[in-house]
């Protein structure tokens, strides 16, 4: 980005403004009487358009076209509404309080789900989660109850005044996901499945876009840009941990990266400490941190009998273990 300052006397003011905005800059003389500032925007949490707006009083600004023009055009107070039958409206982002999304990793059978839904509602959960078609690392592990689960997840959630979210694992799942789910999850392994993104971008349902553990923040943003490019801007990011050098926990929860994404791109951000840590001892603290940092929501795996869970048993919180987190979320 290049800023041509109107007059040399403005330079101290420009410098102050650049420091206030947290922008790296170097002064480069541009011949003649014009003074040019070269501004590096790579390390900035601000959209180029926003910088141009902030600095427009000082002179002419030239910036390269952003790779995320659709995300950049979202307003500062952008929020995503997830609605469900019975007048349920759950707001993510803007100035809305942090939302609790909770439920089992995988749907197992309707009676247990009913018990879980009833409990989670008393805990302040607004969205019930549960995987029906599961992306499992091993083909020998439980693969989920199949798409039939979308319907009973929705029924349980709606009976208790909640919205529901589940993952569409492939394009084949999309028609039924659109029919039954209030929020459709793109799992970490599918973040760059562009044909799935295209299909969900054409559907009129909000999408929870998880971060791939091996992706950069820019790649994650560009995946969201794919959804927006098809006409769907009801996108919520979900940070669920990246693959770092550490092996004591399942992944590394990138709270700073998530904060940067929320500053830079405005889309709401949900934090999933269950998959990020894989450890029930650590999950409650990370959930508290996420709420304290002002993220739009927290997603937790909760199971009535964690030791019997058919997937992700080690990270499932029992009702008793989840209970102290109730105070973080408004009812
Ligand atoms: C999930 O939330 O059910 C899940 C499989 O998570 P992830 O895609 O983040 O691994
Ligand atoms: Mn899980």
Cα-trace Rg, the chain: 22
Residue with the smallest CA separation from ligand 1 atom 10 is 188
Task: Indicate the SS3 state at residue 191.
Answer: coil
- Residue 282 confidence (pLDDT) above 80: yes
What mean pLDDT is predicted for residues 240-259? 97
**What integer pLDDT is reported at residue 44 of this predicted model?**
80
Spatial separation of the C-alpha atoms in residues 40 and 198, rounded to whole Å: 32
From the CA of 33, how far away is ligand 1's center (Å)? 57
Residue ranges of alpha helices (H) inside the chain are 11-21, 48-55, 69-72, 110-122, 148-159, 174-180, 194-202, 217-229, 255-265, 273-277, 283-292, 319-322
The 10s digit of each residue's pLDDT in 314-326 is 999 999 999 999 9
Ligand 1 nearest-atom number relative to CA 135: 5
Residue 192 DSSP class: T
The 10s digit of each residue's pLDDT in 94-151 is 999 999 999 999 999 999 999 999 999 999 999 999 999 999 999 999 999 999 999 9
Spatial separation of the C-alpha atoms in residues 274 and 210, rounded to whole Å: 13
Quick check: CB of 103 below 6 Å from ligand 1?
Answer: no
Q: Which ligand is nearest to the CA of 278?
A: 2
From the CA of 158, how far away is ligand 1's center (Å)? 22
Spatial separation of the C-alpha atoms in residues 317 and 111, rounded to whole Å: 18
Q: Which ligand is nearest to the CA of 272?
A: 1
């Amino acid at each position: 980005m290049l800023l041509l300052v109107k007059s040399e006397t403005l330079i101290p003011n420009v410098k102050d403004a650049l420091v206030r905005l947290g922008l790296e800059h170097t002064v480069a003389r541009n011949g003649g009487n014009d003074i040019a500032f070269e501004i590096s925007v790579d390390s900035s949490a601000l959209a180029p358009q926003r910088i141009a707006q902030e600095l427009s009083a000082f002179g002419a600004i030239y910036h390269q076209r952003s790779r995320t023009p659709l995300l950049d055009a979202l307003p500062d107070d952008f929020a995503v509404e997830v609605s469900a039958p019975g007048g349920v409206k759950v707001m993510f982002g803007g100035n809305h309080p942090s939302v609790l999304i909770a439920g089992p990793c995988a749907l197992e059978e309707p009676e247990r789900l009913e018990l879980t839904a009833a409990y989670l509602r008393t805990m302040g959960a607004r969205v019930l989660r549960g995987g029906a078609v599961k992306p499992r690392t091993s083909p020998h592990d439980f693969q989920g109850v199949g798409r039939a689960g979308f319907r009973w997840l929705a029924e349980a959630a709606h009976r208790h005044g909640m919205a529901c979210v589940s993952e569409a694992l492939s394009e084949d799942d999309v028609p039924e996901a659109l029919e039954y789910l209030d929020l459709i999850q793109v799992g970490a392994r599918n973040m760059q499945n562009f044909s799935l993104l295209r299909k969900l971008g054409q559907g009129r349902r909000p999408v929870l876009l998880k971060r791939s553990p091996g992706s950069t923040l820019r790649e994650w943003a560009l995946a969201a840009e794919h959804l927006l490019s098809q006409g769907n801007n009801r996108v919520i990011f979900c940070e669920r941990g990246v693959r770092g050098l550490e092996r004591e926990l399942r992944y590394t929860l990138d709270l700073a990266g998530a904060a940067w994404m929320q500053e830079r791109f405005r889309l709401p951000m949900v934090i999933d400490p269950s998959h990020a840590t894989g450890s029930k001892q650590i999950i409650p603290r990370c959930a508290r941190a996420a709420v304290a940092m002002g993220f739009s929501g927290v997603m937790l795996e909760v199971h009535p009998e964690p030791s019997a869970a058919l997937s992700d048993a080690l990270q499932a919180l029992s009702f008793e273990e989840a209970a102290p987190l109730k105070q973080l979320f408004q009812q």
